[in-house]
Amino acid sequence: MDESNHWYGHSRILGRYCGLPDEAPRRIQGFLQHGWNYLHGFPPNDHWCSPGYPRFLWSDVLRRRGWSMGRRGQYLVGAPWIYLLYLEPELGKVRERKGTIWYPFHGWEKYSVSGDHAQLADEIRNVETDPVTVCLYWLEFANPDIRRAYESRGFRVICHGERGSRWEGKGRDFLYKQLVQLRRHRRVASNRLGSALFYGASVGCEVAVYGDPMQYEDERPEYGGTARRLRLWPEMHGTSVDPGLAAEVARRELGFEYQATPEELQRMFGWKRTRVGAPPPGGGAAGLKRPERRGKATASGRPSPPLGARP
């Protein structure tokens, strides 16, 4: 329905989890949260959301925050990342993890980020003692000056790829590549809390958040800026974060407890409920079992919307 449902291969991962063919990603009847944020899971303005269609969220804190702002029709399914972990329990695992993978805060096609990458690279060099891999978003990766700021400090510079659309294959392997890299590194770090930090913590990486947080041009005030992130997650900032705490926060923010069954997802997304395959038996990530139906996958205690319905 919305192109953002297919960024980073999310719809393909969820379709694979449901045992559906991968020729083309399925059209989700609603809006799937595509990245972590600390507002209500979606951009502040709703002009791009068709009225009446459901929003599928990662965590209950976002649902409650959205409810307090008058949003209805919200359903909890957890992050697509947790379904990837279920499907790929061994992908990228190595005997010994080494080094740090560092994710500088990035812009996107409509907004650039202001900040000094050379200064950030110097700070990374002063903090990290092991080899560093810097992973840039594709827009920054395409900028030779930004790449050079990190390469000149001796860092390996990579990119997980571009985000795609429903009909493009660009983003279909994005999260798979990210999972491989995170499982190979001992530590994940960034200058802002974000999806990559929680993904890394969920697969056993040590976590750090430090350095100039940088800023979007005309950053929306609704988010509350750096002051709000520090107020809500003070324990998640610093050059060293307690691993157990980071893992706990990641599980909450990614919504592990709201992983739905394939049947629930097909019903909520409006997908034809014909299974051609099945997810691997026995569960995937450590401590993650195939979910049983438990009513937490929906908002406010209401049942999942019927096939094709608008809540």
Name, of 64-73, 108-117, 250-259, the range with top average pLDDT.
250-259
Name, of 58-67, 167-176, 269-278, the range with top average pLDDT.
58-67
Contact 33, 56 (CB under 8 A): yes
The more confidently predicted of residues 258 and 139 is: 258
DSSP 31-72: EE--S--SSSSS-S--TTSPTT--EEES-HHHHHHHHHTT--
Tens digit of pLDDT for each residue in 127-142?
A: 999 999 999 998 899 9
Residue 26, both tokens:
């399925």
At residue 24, the pLDDT reads 67
CB count within 10 Å of CB 23 equals 6
> How many domains does the chain divide into?
1
Rounded to 10 degrees, the C-alpha dihedral 52/54/5/221 comes to 80
Asked whether residue 165 is domain-assigned, the answer is: yes
The more confidently predicted of residues 120 and 228 is: 120
User: Which residues share a beta bridge with 207?
Assistant: 188
Task: Check pLDDT > 60 for residue 228.
Answer: yes
Confidence of residue 311 (pLDDT cuts 50, 70, 90): very low
**By residue range, what is the domain housing residue 189?**
100-253
Contacts of 127 (CB under 8 A, 6+ apart): 208, 210, 239
Contact 55, 31 (CB under 8 A): yes
At residue 293, the pLDDT reads 39
Contact 84, 176 (CB under 8 A): yes
Asked whether residue 289 is domain-assigned, the answer is: no
Mean of per-residue pLDDT scores for the chain: 81
- How confident is the model over 84-105, as a mean pLDDT? 97
Residue 231 host element (H or E) = helix 225-232
Q: How far is CA 108 from CA 44, 68, 111, 112, 230, in A?
A: 16, 28, 5, 6, 23
Asked whether residue 303 is domain-assigned, the answer is: no
At residue 164, the pLDDT reads 65
Contacts of 70 (CB under 8 A, 6+ apart): none
Tens digit of pLDDT for each residue in 146-180?
A: 999 999 999 999 999 887 665 566 768 999 999 99
Asked whether residue 2 is domain-assigned, the answer is: no
Task: Check pLDDT > 60 for residue 277.
Answer: no
Task: Check pLDDT > 60 for residue 47.
Answer: no
Asked whether residue 290 is domain-assigned, the answer is: no
Contact 279, 260 (CB under 8 A): no
Confidence of residue 65 (pLDDT cuts 50, 70, 90): confident
What's the one-letter identity of residue 122? D
Asked whether residue 217 is domain-assigned, the answer is: yes
Domain of residue 158, CATH code? 3.40.50
Confidence of residue 288 (pLDDT cuts 50, 70, 90): very low
Rounded to 10 degrees, the C-alpha dihedral 7/12/18/20 comes to 150
The more confidently predicted of residues 254 and 36 is: 254
Asked whether residue 71 is domain-assigned, the answer is: no
- How confident is the model over 292-305, as a mean pLDDT? 40
Tens digit of pLDDT for each residue in 106-120?
A: 766 656 677 899 999
Asked whether residue 259 is domain-assigned, the answer is: no
Tens digit of pLDDT for each residue in 180-198?
A: 999 999 999 999 999 999 9
